Structure 1
Amino acid sequence: MLVLGVDAVGAQLSSIKDHVFENRVKPIADVGFPINLEKVLELKPDLILVASTDAKQYERLSKVAPTVMFDTFAPLDERIALLGDLLGKQQQAKQWLADFNAKAEAMWKQLRADGMKDGETASVFTYYPGDRLFVMARAGLPQMLYHPKGFKPTPMIQEVLNGSQGFMHISPELLPQYAGDRIFILVPAAGLEDARKSTDELMKSRIWLDLPAVKKGRVYSIDISKSDSDASTREWMLEELPRMLRK
C-alpha cells in the first residue's frame, strides 16, 4: 500500500516492527494479533485486507466492512495489480510495476556480468519457532531470488513450490538435499532466543560445514524482518542483494 501512496488506519503493528518500511508508516492503530474485532469496529474502515484463509475470521470481519482475504504468497505483480484495483490506484500500480521490473532486470543483468552463472541454485532457510528448521519457498525472499533471470530452486525446493507451499518444515539431516549453490539464512527476530540458538548450533554442525556452498563461502545472513516479499522490501533488496553477494 505504501508504494501506491495509500495509508492504512490500522494494522498488526508487530508485523511492521524492524521492517525496512517501518519509518515510512504513519502512526496507526494496532489491531493486534489475533485481530481485535472491537478495535476494528472503532476504526470504521472502508476496506479490510487480511492475510488469512480462516472462514470464521472472514465472516466476522466482513460484517464490519468489505473484506478481502489477501494472498501474501502470490507473485508481487499479482498482489500490486490487485491492490491497484481495490484502491482505485490502477495507473499507479501499473507504473510502479513497470519501474520495479525494469530495475530488477537491470540488477540480474549486472549480477551475471559480475560472475553469476546460468542455472545457479539458491536456498533460503530459517529456524522458527524454537528448534524447527524451515526451507522457504513461496514466502518472502525466494520470491525475489527465483526470478526468471535469477537463481533457480533446487529440485527438492521445486517440489515444495509445486505444492504451492510458502515454506516447509524439514529436519537438519535433509539439508544436503535442499541446499543450493548459494544459501541464505534468515536470522530469527530478537526475542526468539531458542531459534537463534538453534541457528548458531546448526552453523557449527558437521552437516552444515560439509555443504558445498558453506565450503565456498557462499552463505549470506539476513534478518528475517528484512526478508519479506512486500513491495517496499523488494525495492530495498534490489540494492541490498548485490551488496550481499559481493561480500
Structure 2
Amino acid sequence: MKKWSAPLLLIVLLVISACNNTSGSAQTPDTSKEATASTITYQSENGPVQVPANPQRVVVLTAYTGDLLTLNVNMVGVDSWSKQNPLFADKLKDVPEVSDESLEKIIELKPDLIIGSSTSKNLDKLKQIAPTVTYTYGKVDYLTQYIEIGKLLNKEKEAAAWVEDFKKRAEEAGKEIKAKIGENSTVSVIENFDKQLYVFGDNWGRGTEIIYQAMKLKMPDKVKEMALKDGYYALSAEVLPQYAGDYVIFSKNTDGDTSFQNTNTYKNIPAVKNNRVFEANAKQFYFNDAMTLDYQLNFFISKFLGR
C-alpha cells in the first residue's frame, strides 16, 4: 500500500470535505439560525403561533397594556380603557386608540403583533394583518397571565423575576397589615359604575387579587356568598351595609353616580363612621396587569400602613 505524506493527506481530506459541502441540501445556505432569531413559536391557548422574537409595533386590544409597559415593549395602538387610564397617560400620549372593529386604522399602524381577547371581534381579519394572540380572561391566575405575556414577548425571564419580587412584597405587606388591623378583620371592594354599585370577589381586578389572594385578608361572608363565584355582584345602595367589611376599598368613578355616599344608610356603615373607607380612582384601579398591580400594592401599603 502506498504511503501518504502528512501534507498530501491533509490536502486530500480538505478536497473531500469541500466536495461534500457542495452536494445535496448543503448547497443552500443555512438560514435556520436567522429564522430562529427573527421569530419564535408561542404556544397560545388556540395552538402554536409564529410571532416576532422582538416585536417592535404591537397593537393591544384588551387589558394587557400595563404588562407591555412594564416589559418596555413598544405599542402602536391600544384599547380605549387603556387610553383613558391616568396611570398610563404619559406613556401612551402619542399612541392611537384602536378597537377590534377599526381594521383600516390597525392596517395603517403596520403592527408586527396583535394581542386581543378570546371575545375580540374580527379575529380572522386581524390574523391577516399580523400574528394575533388572544387570551381568555381568568383562564389562568393573574400572575401566570403576566408570565404568559412575557413568553409571548420573548421576555419570560423578566416576567418571572417580577412575579417573584411582587409575591414577596405583597406577602410581607399582608403580614404587616394583618398585624395592624387584626387577623379577623374583613375587607370589601366596591365600585360605582354609571348608576350601579358592585362588590367584587377575589379575581376581578380592583386590587382583589392582592387583598384576598396575595395578602390573604378576609372577605365578608355575604360577599363570599354572592360575588366569589362570578367575580362580582351588582347590588343596591340600600343593602350595601350587608356587604361592607370592617374596611372598604372604594374604586370610585367620579363621573358616575356617587349620591349614595350622602345617604344615612351609607354614613352609618361602621367602616364609614370609623374612617376605614379608602377611595381609589377607578380608572387606575380596574385591571390586574403588572403596572396596575404595583400601583395597587403601593396604594394598600399607604392606606393601611400609612407609608
Aligned residue in 1 for 2:132: 67
Give TM-score scaled by structure 2 length.
0.68
Please state whether the residue corresponding to 2:129 is helix, strand or coil.
Answer: coil
- Alignment CA distance shift 1:9-1:205 (3 Å): same
| d(CA) in 2 for partners of 1:237, 1:133 | 20
- Alignment CA distance shift 1:242-1:53 (3 Å): same
Aligned residue in 2 for 1:178: 243
Please state whether the residue corresponding to 1:146 is helix, strand or coil.
Answer: helix
Q: Does 1:237 find its partner at 2:237?
A: no
Residue 106 of structure 1 and its aligned partner are, at CA, apart by 1.9
Residue 148 of structure 1 and its aligned partner are, at CA, apart by 4.2
Please state whether the residue corresponding to 2:292 is helix, strand or coil.
Answer: helix
**Counterpart AA for 1:133:** L
Aligned residue in 1 for 2:149: 83
Could you report, residue by residue, the CA deviation over 1:91-138 in whole angstroms, capped at 9, with x for unpaired residues? Answer: 11111111111111222222234x121132211222212x11122333
Residue 39 of structure 1 and its aligned partner are, at CA, apart by 1.0
Aligned residue in 1 for 2:193: 128
Could you report, residue by residue, the CA deviation over 1:191-220 in whole angstroms, capped at 9, with x for unpaired residues? Answer: x2xx1xx31x21121221222212222111
Could you report, residue by residue, the CA deviation over 1:221-244 in whole angstroms, capped at 9, with x for unpaired residues? Answer: 111122132211211233221222
Q: Do the aligned partners of 1:76 and 1:231 also contact (CA within 8 Å) in 2?
A: no
* Equivalent residues in 2 for 1:214-225, closer than 5 Å: 214-225=272-283
Q: Do the aligned partners of 1:135 and 1:169 also contact (CA within 8 Å) in 2?
A: yes
Residue 80 of structure 1 and its aligned partner are, at CA, apart by 0.8
| d(CA) in 2 for partners of 1:128, 1:117 | 31
Please state whether the residue corresponding to 1:123 is helix, strand or coil.
Answer: strand
Please state whether the residue corresponding to 2:183 is helix, strand or coil.
Answer: coil
Please state whether the residue corresponding to 1:150 is helix, strand or coil.
Answer: coil
Aligned residue in 1 for 2:84: 17
**Counterpart AA for 1:221:** E
**Counterpart AA for 2:304:** L
**Counterpart AA for 2:193:** Y
Aligned residue in 2 for 1:45: 111
Q: Do the aligned partners of 2:147 and 2:159 also contact (CA within 8 Å) in 1?
A: yes
Superposition RMSD in Å: 2.4
Q: Runs of 5+ in structure 1 lacking a partner?
A: none
Aligned residue in 2 for 1:151: 217
Residue 160 of structure 1 and its aligned partner are, at CA, apart by 4.6
Q: Do the aligned partners of 2:167 and 2:214 also contact (CA within 8 Å) in 1?
A: no
Give TM-score scaled by structure 1 length.
0.83
**Among 230, 234, 243, the residue aligned to 1:169:** 234
Residue 161 of structure 1 and its aligned partner are, at CA, apart by 4.8
Q: Do the aligned partners of 1:182 and 1:219 also contact (CA within 8 Å) in 2?
A: yes
| d(CA) in 2 for partners of 1:162, 1:221 | 22
**Among 188, 191, 205, the residue aligned to 1:140:** 205
**Counterpart AA for 1:242:** I
Q: Runs of 5+ in structure 2 lacking a partner?
A: 1-67
| d(CA) in 2 for partners of 1:159, 1:65 | 43
Aligned residue in 1 for 2:24: none
| d(CA) in 2 for partners of 1:159, 1:127 | 20
**Counterpart AA for 2:119:** T
Q: Do the aligned partners of 1:3 and 1:96 also contact (CA within 8 Å) in 2?
A: no
Pick 1 or 2: higher relative contact order, CA cutoff 8 A, min separation 6: 1
